[in-house]
Structure 1
Amino acid sequence: MSAAEPTVIAPEGELDIARVGDFRAALSNAASEDETAVVVDLSDVSFIDSSGLGALVELHDRLRRDGRRLAVIAPGGSAPAVLINLAGLRSRLPISDTREVAFDA
């Protein structure tokens, strides 16, 4: 990763079909920027549905094609972390508990 700070998107509250349009717009804007990495911090998200999860997968695929990185912050036991696990996406999306460990590998 370059020395530049990653773009951070940190939605709050419920991230469902009613709000996914704004979320997708924020993700698209982040994907259009020049930063090497994008962090989506779901720490303050109380609920996420399949539309939100789909937007994350699309962003991950787009960034990867461009040689860039995504980190998704979903603290263990949180609603987003549970739903990511239930959807079987933990092996597909780069999930971390905190921003501090997001790009440690």
Structure 2
Amino acid sequence: MPGQRQTLDSLDDAQRAVVEALEGPVVIYAGAGSGKTRAITHRIANGCNSKIYDPQKVLAVTFTTRAADEMLLRLSALGIRNVATRTFHSAALRQLK
């Protein structure tokens, strides 16, 4: 897939490691503006494009509504639809209901 290769080529080594680690959890410790959201959204896209992840079974959780909305926009730009992006609060509230 040429578009996917180009996308991976645009990532730095640490981001690429996150994107290519499709099994198990990944923890990303990094400061503001370091590309955490980019790495996470590209990992989800890579997993969905590889058919390892079912987009309808992915839950991307973050701290703020703004960040959740941004993740959804970035996933959409990568051609990924039907991924749930929520804040910790909204994800927990949804499970309680």
TM tier, shorter chain? 0.3 to 0.5
Q: TM-score, normalised by structure 1?
A: 0.43
Q: TM-score, normalised by structure 2?
A: 0.45
Q: Which structure ranks higher in relative contact order (CA pairs < 8 Å, sequence separation ≥ 6)?
A: 1
